Amino acid sequence: MIKILLKRLPLIIAGFLLALVLLEASLRIAGSAYLSVKEYRNRLSVRKTGEYRILCLGESMTDGQWPGPLEKILNQRGAGIKFSVIDEGMAGATTDIIIECLEKNIEKYKPNMIIAMIGINNDPSNTILPLVRLVRDKNTAYFLNSLRILKLLRLIKLSIFPGMGQPEPYTEDIRSGRWYEDQQDYDKAEAAYKEAIQKDPGVIRSYIILSEYYRARNEYAKAEEITMKALSADPEDAWPYIELAWCYYGRNRYDKAEEILKRGMLVDPDNIDLIIEAGRCYEWNGMPDKAAGMFKKAFAINPKNMYVSGSLSRLYRKTGNKPEAEKFYSICSSLSNTYYNPETRDAYNKIRNITMERGIRLVCAQYPMMSVDALKKLLNNSEDVIFVDNESIFKDAVRDSGYDRYFRDRFMGFFGHCTQEGNRMLAENIADTIISGEFAGKGRLKYINSGAR
């Protein structure tokens, strides 16, 4: 029997490898629809002659988000200059992947300007790092990381261990919903989000996205209903508990929010996202001591979380504990100044060097709610770079109109992916900075017909 198996082993291995190849091919074909649409739009932009061409680089904060509104706003405010904006954001991409594609994208699109908002995925928990450690070769790791089969396995892992890892890039239905929202076709957007749930009711993220969609329109009852379904589908996932808390915040039901978060912490006592949310809940409900207790627990789990140290500084200042307030302010400030890891620093400087060599104008946009000073420091406050500060406008807007109006989630703790209105505000601020910094009386029109050198 063993001899027969050994004889057949090469055939079994060959059959297994063939099955993997066919599965990989099928996954790539199935995932190409959205990319084809974006590629078609980008090609249309390239065909337009006599226009100022802008290439946008980034991750999921960029991919299908603010570049679309940016083109419309620039053409409305450009004083006769015609702009064409190309979206090369890649959801889930690290800066290494973005840099790897940069030269090809420059040759392909010949931009006059590049806008970069990058680095948020350069995290020690990023999926590429375990692969680098495993195979001891970065190029091999990137090849493995690009395989659709590996992404499928990560999704399976997330379905079995819901707290582990980061969410995968959005499905085709979710991307369609985002696109319809951007076009203000809300009925089709809602239908697309519902279709995503119907196709795979086990993906909790789809429920949360639909709930966020409802919350952004003050439909809190619908948001609660869909999130309760997510909780029923997976009572061990932390995010339905957190999303339900936000459904209750919108109706000033902090007692209900506290109750649901306590339920979540009974299921997963050391989940830092639940602990941070409980701290927020207590703070917003006027219980600073309880809030500080939660944030201190979160700080013990992750002392490098800027949102946690910033919250502790704010809470201790409110309660008159000046020494502790100054201690945590110092920690938060230090983290903010060193936010960018070496990979991000290297990527920004590579982009600057390449754009300077080719005569392309570089714009570096900071993420919402974050200080632009760290970004300026990273590039030595270079006069050759236009910096976009998105901190104060978002903090002011959130203070005046609420978080849900501008952000869909909280994946960075103190900010997340933007809503349609958040993306519009981001695009408006980038557009205003570009126009005032590049075209206001500076005679920069020479770039329009030249393209990249």
What CATH number has the domain bearing residue 333? 1.25.40.10
Whether 205 is in a domain gets the answer no
CB atoms inside a 10 Å sphere around CB 440: 10
DSSP annotation string for 73-136: HHHHHSTT--EEEEE---TT--HHHHHHHHHHHHHHH--SEEEEE--TT--TT-THHHHHHHHS
Whether 389 is in a domain gets the answer no
Whether 286 is in a domain gets the answer yes
* Total domains present in the chain: 1
The range of the structural domain enclosing residue 300 comes to: 275-339
Whether 334 is in a domain gets the answer yes
Lowest-pLDDT range of 17-21, 122-126, 199-203, 238-242: 122-126
Q: How far is CA 328 from each of CA 286, 320, 322, 324, 392, rounded to the nearest angstrom?
A: 20, 14, 10, 6, 21
**Please, which pLDDT band fits residue 33 given cuts at 50, 70 and 90?**
very low
Rounded average pLDDT over 252-268: 95
The angle at the Cα of 173, spanning 168 to 127, to the nearest 5 degrees, equals 5
pLDDT tens-place string over residues 119-147: 887 754 333 333 333 333 334 444 554 45
What are the b/e assignments for 72-82, b being 16+ CB within 10 Å?
Answer: ebbbeeeeeee
* Structural element, H or E, at residue 52: strand 52-58
Handedness of CA 211, 215, 219, 220 (dihedral sign): positive
What pLDDT does 323 receive?
A: 93
Whether 328 is in a domain gets the answer yes
Under DSSP, the state recorded for 338 is T
Residue 236: strand, helix, or coil = coil
Q: Which of 149, 183, 117, 159 has the alpha carbon at shortest distance from 388?
A: 117
pTM of the predicted structure, to 2 decimals: 0.55
Helix axes 148-160, 2-30, angle to 10 degrees: 100
Query: Is the confidence at residue 183, as pLDDT, over 90?
Result: no
Query: Is the confidence at residue 255, as pLDDT, over 90?
Result: yes
What pLDDT does 277 receive?
A: 93
Q: Which of 255, 312, 307, 261 has the alpha carbon at shortest distance from 289?
A: 312
Whether 163 is in a domain gets the answer no
What pLDDT does 414 receive?
A: 65
Whether 421 is in a domain gets the answer no
| 151 touches 170 (CB < 8 A) | no
Rounded average pLDDT over 282-287: 91
Whether 302 is in a domain gets the answer yes
